Amino acid sequence: MSISSPSLINTPNGYIPASQRIPAMARPFVSDRALKTLDLVEKFVEEECIPADAVFRQQLGQSTAERFTNHPQIMEDLKAKARELGLWNMFLPKNHFENEGAGFSNLEYGLMAECLGRSETASEATNCSAPDTGNMEVFAKYGTEEQKRQWLDPLLKGQIRSAFLMTEPQVASSDATNIELSITRDGQYYVLNGQKWWSSGTGDTRAKVFLVMGKSDPSNPDTYKQQTVVAVPADTPGITIRRMLSVLGYDDAPHGHGHIFFNNVRVHKSNVILGEGRGFEVVQGRLGPGRIHHAMRSVGAAEKALEYFLARINDPRKKPFGKQLSEHGIMLERVARSRIEIDAARLSVLNAAIMIDQGSAKDARKEIAEVKVQVPAMLFDVVDRAIQAHGGGGVSQDFPLASMFAGARTMRIVDGPDEVHILQLGRNENKRGKVLLDKIAAQKQRTEELFKQYKMVQRDVLQLDRRSGNASRL
Amino acid sequence: MSISSPSLINTPNGYIPASQRIPAMARPFVSDRALKTLDLVEKFVEEECIPADAVFRQQLGQSTAERFTNHPQIMEDLKAKARELGLWNMFLPKNHFENEGAGFSNLEYGLMAECLGRSETASEATNCSAPDTGNMEVFAKYGTEEQKRQWLDPLLKGQIRSAFLMTEPQVASSDATNIELSITRDGQYYVLNGQKWWSSGTGDTRAKVFLVMGKSDPSNPDTYKQQTVVAVPADTPGITIRRMLSVLGYDDAPHGHGHIFFNNVRVHKSNVILGEGRGFEVVQGRLGPGRIHHAMRSVGAAEKALEYFLARINDPRKKPFGKQLSEHGIMLERVARSRIEIDAARLSVLNAAIMIDQGSAKDARKEIAEVKVQVPAMLFDVVDRAIQAHGGGGVSQDFPLASMFAGARTMRIVDGPDEVHILQLGRNENKRGKVLLDKIAAQKQRTEELFKQYKMVQRDVLQLDRRSGNASRL
Amino acid sequence: MSISSPSLINTPNGYIPASQRIPAMARPFVSDRALKTLDLVEKFVEEECIPADAVFRQQLGQSTAERFTNHPQIMEDLKAKARELGLWNMFLPKNHFENEGAGFSNLEYGLMAECLGRSETASEATNCSAPDTGNMEVFAKYGTEEQKRQWLDPLLKGQIRSAFLMTEPQVASSDATNIELSITRDGQYYVLNGQKWWSSGTGDTRAKVFLVMGKSDPSNPDTYKQQTVVAVPADTPGITIRRMLSVLGYDDAPHGHGHIFFNNVRVHKSNVILGEGRGFEVVQGRLGPGRIHHAMRSVGAAEKALEYFLARINDPRKKPFGKQLSEHGIMLERVARSRIEIDAARLSVLNAAIMIDQGSAKDARKEIAEVKVQVPAMLFDVVDRAIQAHGGGGVSQDFPLASMFAGARTMRIVDGPDEVHILQLGRNENKRGKVLLDKIAAQKQRTEELFKQYKMVQRDVLQLDRRSGNASRL
Amino acid sequence: MSISSPSLINTPNGYIPASQRIPAMARPFVSDRALKTLDLVEKFVEEECIPADAVFRQQLGQSTAERFTNHPQIMEDLKAKARELGLWNMFLPKNHFENEGAGFSNLEYGLMAECLGRSETASEATNCSAPDTGNMEVFAKYGTEEQKRQWLDPLLKGQIRSAFLMTEPQVASSDATNIELSITRDGQYYVLNGQKWWSSGTGDTRAKVFLVMGKSDPSNPDTYKQQTVVAVPADTPGITIRRMLSVLGYDDAPHGHGHIFFNNVRVHKSNVILGEGRGFEVVQGRLGPGRIHHAMRSVGAAEKALEYFLARINDPRKKPFGKQLSEHGIMLERVARSRIEIDAARLSVLNAAIMIDQGSAKDARKEIAEVKVQVPAMLFDVVDRAIQAHGGGGVSQDFPLASMFAGARTMRIVDGPDEVHILQLGRNENKRGKVLLDKIAAQKQRTEELFKQYKMVQRDVLQLDRRSGNASRL
């Protein structure tokens, strides 16, 4: 199969392909194969997926009932094209998944994710969409053979979808030790009771398995060992999706975000992931790379917003007060600030990706936390400026900006609100406080020695001990 | 009729009534009658309207078709209560509308509008909702007796609704001289051709009259005299509401924002407002007070967001990392900044209202433009912080914050994007530039005289002309 | 004596006098006498003081030794003029100081302070400069007849100056309960030991009295009753001014900020102010109005910075890239934002002033804290923008902006850093948390009743209790 | 010679050496030799230079006269140590200066510059201080053999210093085509007339050569070919340093910033650099790497500010309101934001350095402009937060923060104010506008084809042409 021609991106005006736009500093880390795939991804996204977005949206339908049950044909057609092009499962990093994935590093896939982030359909079309990606990683890393056969295989093939259920409405689940859904053993079975919300992906009727984190050992003195993750088939009796949550007015169909009740939901104990009490391990292993992927999609979304911004201010029909918008310095300033912020954010994410590639997500904890705060703020500001340049159109359904804005706002909350990452970063940095106090004190000490050496008396220094003195002026 | 008891707001904890929370500086401008009405408005809003909001929303229905045709019963019930309480048409300022309105100043109504802004239903329930308020002002100020009889009377009674059609999609209509909808004379008739969008209120099937601004004299050398406003019955042949626009995912039903086509729409020439070529006069007269009303509703909305913020951080179930959210300094800082920004914004709006009351909207142009920029930015930030404290709930349908956020973002665009007001303010200030250059030069001149007087030589001054010199160091 | 003519401010271009620029909302609070004095103050500041600033600076001299001992003649000449014009001691509010002061309210003086804030010499020239103003209030309010005779009288006449010593280097004195300077009784005497810094005004050799706050009763269980303030003659044996502190490179001569040691400094017990253990009372009584005065001076400084900004962008010699700076939209945007922020800040300060006038500084605690945070941030931003428009000149000695910038930065720390006021505001607001939780709960309760009344079942609501359910989809 | 022991930085607490703190993404670009030198630089800076800073400052003296004529002995001693350690002239990039410099790339030197940026003395001590570095590059790249012998050699040896004179007070020299100093030919001589300011380094009496840019061909139609740079010995008759400029109260002695007059200053025509009319070439070649060096010094300065911040909030004597400052969440948030911003800025600078290494400064124009805006803003914010945590101490001479703050503010102006770089970036991005308009249009076109292909009618699309229609509702 070939991608339809004529190309939208390889225009005579000389659109520079993605492989040549990689920051200089990141280039040594990208293989030739990845460069080629990257350009293919870009071409697929720009020429196939972005034009398909509006069709996909309309095929979903209008009523809530339709939107969570329709499976747009165009998505299946895109998936077929993507597989034909070899653009499938690029997210599985080669250092951990030699066989299952496409064999790219987190950095390499990150660059591709930036392209995918420009389209609403591209991630799913290439089987690289959350939360499936993280869940596939979980199954691949921690799953039993049986679990892999049952869920990983069809997930890798894009036949089913999945969800990860963690957040709960009645507690401050930004601190995951607070979660309350109970998992109790009953012979060969676990029995689950409680509720979850913001269970992304549960709206899609093809989501066949829910990974559910609950509390199995609430009295364990180690609060990070009280939790267990179990794989629960979505049609297990006792599960009710009470309602779908909206995100600033969007339902995010077809995957959506469910509010789900568990009432004596029974699953066999073989459904446990990794082992009882190891829920936090599962979560930790799942989050790092996913945050990088998501961050790079956001970088791509920001680039797209900037493209719309640039197109808008050059739209010949838009001339307030006799000047093209692009002739207004205020607009150019915002373009420039967006350019700076996007480029800076990209470097941060790629650096974190390299750290994961060279070690593990744990080694890159600081870098991942930084990215988790920096990127959503960047995306939010870039989209906000693009919207403003579009006037009323910017908040309407006519441009992709409005839904990007909702998404950007939500990213500051999802997967741990900013504040959690900020405090973690702050506390981590603060550990250096004592060493630095000592270093500065030692430097001051040496300064005093130097004054003596040069036979000088130091003036103008903070005196911290009481001194005798007299009433004379300085 | 009495408001249901027990009171929600006059709790033993000593909720301070609105009349006692008026800023000290504004108090001399508020009559005793207004104080009493203000407290009644607050009671009505807190005890009747806010609890009714969710019911209203659900009575609207779910599908697009329902949402723009249903007329929730609870709104009619609220309107009946409001009339019984005498809370009706408070927006019509006493200095211009002795008979039609409730006899309050813009300042007094502003304080009431702050209360109304806390509820989705309160403004309509008291017949104080945009765009009807501005349209009623237009009819009252500029309408013929026939126009008043036909449209003002039923509007004042809350029997019909209306819309003002100005913005157009194909031009930069932030600069209103750009609008293109053509109004041509054909004997006793005007013929309208073109399109409008962001026509707020056109979704409501009770909207019976559209005030339409178009270009009637495109070759007039005075670009502010090319426009005319005509009143067009909504059911005039040739009008098509092509679609309703969404605002960050919200449809704002039942009033909504229409994208409307005019195809040879004919109305009698007696439907002209104020006169041909006087469209800008109509618009100017309409906008000032409306911006103040809207700004005060936003102040009320911000107060509500802060109340939810405060409630949330004191919710005993929300304890991330072992501490109530209110014990986290980051949260208290945000509360404090919100408090400061809200209070400052309120003073700005009230001051602008007083200027309108003492003169006209024209005299208060600077103050209105300031408020138009300051208030939406404030609301946006306050709501943003409140959302963040709510985590996922904040962007969902469970709290009023998400839709307030969409509204706040949109306010920075609606009714002239920030940039228009900012440039207007900037240009206006800049007129002082020459006078100030002269003043500073004169002060420097006097400084030089003083140096002579004290027999000193001024050192360290910027030398702009002097040349001769020698190679000696300073 | 008459102010020199021709007038610099009453130009044909129609400079609008200060009395006509008072915000509409504040006007009812200003007497006719104050209006007249206000215009006189403005004239004096613009025509006499601002031109004198450079002369004063140069008369101070260059070396540190000179700068803290010279008493520029021009200041004495300005003081003479000011007294002749009746512009003297305007700061003493009429409600507390019927006889000592000029008989203006805090609001009225606030408007004058805005004018004074434009010049480096104006406050001292009119005997309205800190820290003397606060110290005069202390003596007037709490002083014995003897203390008044000895210190208040010459202060009111501008013959001596004074200082208030509170901050200490070795503790976190943003929390004043931490101060450590010890005051012990020895018969008829107090003995002071310890150190103080940021003792503003101590550099001036005319400062004859220091009001010193220390700890006299460190074991008092009420941590707000451990402190005492005593008046200490500056030449008392045992006092050493060890050094003067610089503020971002400025020495703030001639008053300066001393770092002072107390070594067995003995003063008679009659020098106590108000009484032992009442130090906090003295401080509280002193701070409120002073903060308002300082804030209004800052508003004036900001206006001045904006004037320089406007003059600069209209300087015909400054045309980067072929356009006058004022034609660059970026500049106009910054002018507009400055305009908005200054006007908003002024209203906040005036409102706080009115609250003090109508009650006491204690009643206006919230408003004063708001102003203490809002105004320095505003001033900082406005000056920062003005500097940027001046390029290199902006940070140099050629314009008043650089030293204003240093002052603005420092204001965010002086007199309690922002964080103290922010946390106080946050905690104060937070007290409403419980009431608001209850109100929102009660409103939700009423919503449920309304649903019943309309025979509806509420959908889409957060379910906080576990429910039974079944596996069926929504 | 060995660096004094015990080490201040290789403490048992395990301070991680600079070579191990290089961002993962930058590591492949750093040679082993550079790694070793980097650690040596860090050790030299932390153990020798930082302790020497206060001594250097005091040896400079207090009066203006002293400060610009004293040559502190400690600097000569540091220079001797640095040469012994081989830490000399590291700034000259190996790809252009095989013999003259130390043989490092811009990236490698950038990492060292980060260390140098922590101390006031380190850059000069290693002969890596501006403006000499840029001037040495100019001479090495464009100088004649005679020019090299006369000026480059002693500069490389640290025997003399130099200045680059470009900015002028009477024009908007942010646009360098505006400069006016005239250079006219008179036989074998150039005659210079005019004035310069912000001539950094001219205060130092060891500055023996000034590179002066002037206008030699004002009528050249190519405004970028009117300028010429000539090397002028500092003691040439006709040169007067009228005064030294201050920077937010600092004199930046001993190098300082001069305001200089040229009155018929004659130099031989052999002193021209590169050739007549090639002034812009000289400037362009000089600026790129210098901006990177300066940016990396700023990153180092920011790290130092953060270190002081961390030390301060862990100072056991500073406990406002009963809690260590580091226990206040507000402080930790600021630490975290600083961490994020510093790390992001470092990556941006290093990436730009690599681009210069791989091509030329011209290829990295976008990246350099980004860094020129991003880094000063970052430094300003980081230092601002650190100051705030220090209270009054933060703005005083007791900590290095106050002078860093002045420097950070000035960086937003020096070497082209932010606005110039922002507009350049904005305009550059804007060139893509037309291509993007076309791309988006083509994608929409394809969307329409897809709708047809799926036999659907696209709804909800912006209609830009007038349509016929009827009055029926949607």
Q: Is C289 exposed, middle or buried (0-12, 13-18, 19+ CB in 10 A)?
A: buried
How far, rounded to the nearest angstrom, does the alpha carbon of residue B269 sit from its chain's CA centroid? 31
The percent of chain A in helix, strand and coil, each rounded to the nearest 5, is 50, 15, 35
Q: Collect all residues from D whose CB is shorter than 8 A from any CB in B.
A: 68, 169-170, 193, 195, 205, 235-244, 259, 261, 263, 328-330, 333, 459-460, 462-464, 466-474
pLDDT of the residue at A284: 85
The partner residues of A231 in beta bridges, in order of sequence, read A211
Alpha-carbon Rg for chain B in angstroms: 26
Does A163-273 carry CATH code 2.40.110.10? yes
How far A459 CA sits from the closest chain C CA (Å)?
Answer: 8
D246 vs C247, C391, C397: nearest CB: C397
Q: Of D42, D121, D356, D429, which to mutate for an interface test with A (greatest number of A Cβ within 10 Å)?
A: D429
pLDDT of the residue at A320: 83
pLDDT of the residue at D460: 73
CB contact under 8 A, C15 and B435: yes
How far D133 CA sits from the closest chain B CA (Å)?
Answer: 24
Which chain A residue has the Cα nearest residue C180? A466
Q: Which of 2.60.120.560, 1.20.140.10, 2.60.120.620, 3.30.390.30 is the CATH number of C281-416?
A: 1.20.140.10
Least confident residue range of A421-435, A454-468, B61-75, B244-258: A454-468
A348 vs D337, D347, D443: nearest CB: D347
Which chains touch B (3+ CB pairs under 8 A)? A, C, D
CATH class of A18-143: mainly alpha
pLDDT of the residue at C467: 37
Chain C residues touching residue D319 (CB < 8 angstroms):
172, 175, 178
CB contact under 8 A, D171 and C321: no
CB contact under 8 A, B249 and A245: no
Name the nearest CA neighbour of A209 among A136, A274, A276.
A136
Please indicate, yes or no, whether the overall pTM of this predicted structure exceeds 0.90. Answer: yes
Q: Say if residue A383's pLDDT is above 60.
A: yes
CB contact under 8 A, C308 and B335: no
Name the nearest CA neighbour of A284 among A363, A205, A216.
A363
DSSP H or E stretch at residue A156: helix A153-156
Residue ranges for chain D with pLDDT beneath 70: 1-14, 463-474
Separation of alpha carbons D398 and D57, rounded Å: 12
Chain B residues touching residue C314 (CB < 8 angstroms):
430, 433-434, 436-437
pLDDT of the residue at A474: 34
Q: pLDDT tens digit string along B218-241?
A: 999 999 999 999 999 999 999 999
One fold for both B18-129 and B163-273? no
Give me the tens of pLDDT residue by residue for chain C, a chain 474 residues long.
344 444 555 554 567 899 999 999 999 999 999 999 999 999 999 999 999 999 999 999 988 888 999 999 999 999 999 999 999 999 988 877 777 778 999 999 999 999 999 999 999 999 999 999 999 999 999 999 999 999 999 999 999 999 999 999 999 888 889 999 999 999 999 999 999 999 999 999 999 999 999 999 999 999 999 999 999 999 999 999 999 999 999 999 999 999 999 999 999 999 999 999 999 999 988 877 889 999 999 999 999 999 999 999 999 988 888 889 999 999 999 999 999 999 999 999 999 999 999 987 788 999 999 999 999 999 999 999 999 999 999 999 999 999 999 999 999 999 889 999 999 999 999 999 999 999 999 999 999 999 999 999 988 777 554 333 333 333
How far A466 CA sits from the closest chain D CA (Å)?
Answer: 15
CB contact under 8 A, B344 and C345: yes
Which chain B residue has the Cα nearest residue A416? B391
DSSP assignment of D20-86, as one string? GSS-GGGGGG--HHHHHHHHHHHHHIIIIIHHHHHHHHHHH-SSHHHHTT---HHHHHHHHHHHHHT
CB contact under 8 A, D436 and A311: yes
Chain D residues touching residue C167 (CB < 8 angstroms):
392
Least confident residue range of A292-306, A451-465, C441-455, D422-436: A451-465
Name the nearest CA neighbour of D447 among A48, A122, A118.
A48
Phi first, then psi: what are they for B165, rounded to 5°? -105, 110
pLDDT of the residue at D444: 94
Chain B residues touching residue A323 (CB < 8 angstroms):
none
Which DSSP category does C470 fall into?
-
Tokens of B238: 């040739």
Name the nearest CA neighbour of A378 among A421, A328, A351, A418.
A418
pLDDT of the residue at D8: 58
Chain A residues touching residue C262 (CB < 8 angstroms):
469
**Average pLDDT, rounded, for chain A:** 92
Which chains touch A (3+ CB pairs under 8 A)? B, C, D
CATH code for residues B18-129: 1.10.540.10
**Residue pairs between chains A and C whose CB atoms are closer than 8 Å:** 100
Tokens of C152: 């208040």
DSSP assignment of C266-295, as one string? EEEGGGBSS-TT-HHHHHHHHHHHHHHHHH
**Residue pairs between chains B and D whose CB atoms are closer than 8 Å:** 92
Per-residue pLDDT, averaged over A327-331, amounts to 93
C62 vs D64, D170, D423: nearest CB: D64
Q: Say if residue B421's pLDDT is above 50.
A: yes
CB contact under 8 A, B392 and A405: no
pLDDT of the residue at B6: 47
Q: Collect all residues from B whose CB is shorter than 8 A from any CB in D.
A: 68, 169-170, 193-195, 205, 235-244, 259, 261, 263, 328-330, 333, 459-460, 462-464, 466-474
How far C466 CA sits from the closest chain A CA (Å)?
Answer: 6
**Average pLDDT, rounded, for chain B:** 92
DSSP H or E stretch at residue B186: strand B182-186
Q: Of C409, C418, C421, C427, which to mutate for an interface test with D (greatest number of D Cβ within 10 Å)?
A: C409
A432 vs D310, D424, D456: nearest CB: D310
Tokens of B281: 């006069």
How large is the ipTM?
Answer: 0.94
* Confidence tier at A7 by pLDDT (50, 70, 90): low
Separation of alpha carbons D27 and B63, rounded Å: 57
- Bridge-based pairing of strands A207-215 and A161-165 is parallel
Tokens of D56: 């250097």
Q: Say if residue A3's pLDDT is above 80.
A: no
Per-residue pLDDT, averaged over B160-178, amounts to 92
* Confidence tier at A94 by pLDDT (50, 70, 90): confident
Separation of alpha carbons C344 and C339, rounded Å: 9
Helix (H, G, I), strand (E, B) or coil at D207: strand
How far A381 CA sits from the closest chain B CA (Å)?
Answer: 12
CB contact under 8 A, D402 and C249: yes
| Domain boundaries defined on chain C | 18-143, 163-273, 281-416
